[in-house]
Homo-oligomer: A and B are copies of this chain.
Amino acid sequence: MEIGVLGTGMVGQAIASKLASLGHEIRMGSRKAGNEDAVAWVTEAGKGASEGTFADAAKFGELVVNCTAGVASVDALTAAGADNLAGKVLVDIANPLDFSQGMPPVLAVCNDDSLGERIQATFPEARVVKTLNTMNCQVMVDPARVPGEHAVFVSGDDDSAKREVTALLGGLGWPEERIIDLGGISTARGTEMYLPLWLSLYGQLQTGDFNIGVIRA
């Protein structure tokens, strides 16, 4: 599949590399074509890898993954272009973490709204699925590095888009029984608002190699 990955940071690189290793053609997008990190990634990823602007990557992808910083995501997606996102599955991995007031970060949007909802509202023709935002990027693309029955969540208004994303998550190594469909895109509030707990756990465990599991009676 041709996939556009928006963002050149750790999350974008991890997702793009894993998807490329699975045989997908990836175009990494950033604010300007020729971004140093994107060019370095293309060189390392080799065949099928390319880079360009956010719009280049969004146009290229049959499916688009938002790995930009959450506080800049709506701007990045606006640069990507509503027309280039229309009808496509838009996987939103970002968290709206605002570090401008120091540590710990606060959420730039939460409680009665979420970044996932804002993206869906801003790009109504995109089929937004929020997922993978509850763990660090190493665990996202290699869930087996954490043993046991830990979970990944999906939120979205479009059931067929969630099925496509569930298949994509399967490719990343997520068994279907550990992929929990929370419901519509408004349930992204829950996974985004989980971030403060994740950050506290990260501080106490001194590692990002953890995840939560949902254990039922």
Residue positions of A touching B, CB distance < 8 A: 101, 104, 106-107, 110-112, 145-150, 153, 155, 180-183, 186-187, 189-191, 193-201, 203-205, 207, 209-217
Contact = CB atoms under 8 A, between A and B. Distances in A.
Contact of A213 (B183, B191, B213): B213
Contact of A216 (B112, B199, B205): B205
Contacts of A111: 106-107, 110-111, 196
Given A111-B111, A193-B194, A210 B200 contact: no
A215 B112 contact: no
A111 B204 CA distance: 19
A142 to B, nearest CB: 10
A215 B180 contact: no
Contacts of A194: 193-194, 197
B203 A214 contact: no
**Dominant SS at the A interface?**
mixed
The interface centre, meaning the residue of A107, A186, A211, A217 with most chain B CB atoms within 10 A of its CB, is A217
Contacts of A106: 111-112
Contacts of A107: 111
Which of A155, A181, A204, A205 has most B Cβ within 10 Å? Answer: A204
A199 B210 contact: no
Contact of A210 (B191, B204, B214): B214
Nearest to A182: B200
Given A204-B181, A210-B217, A196 B197 contact: no
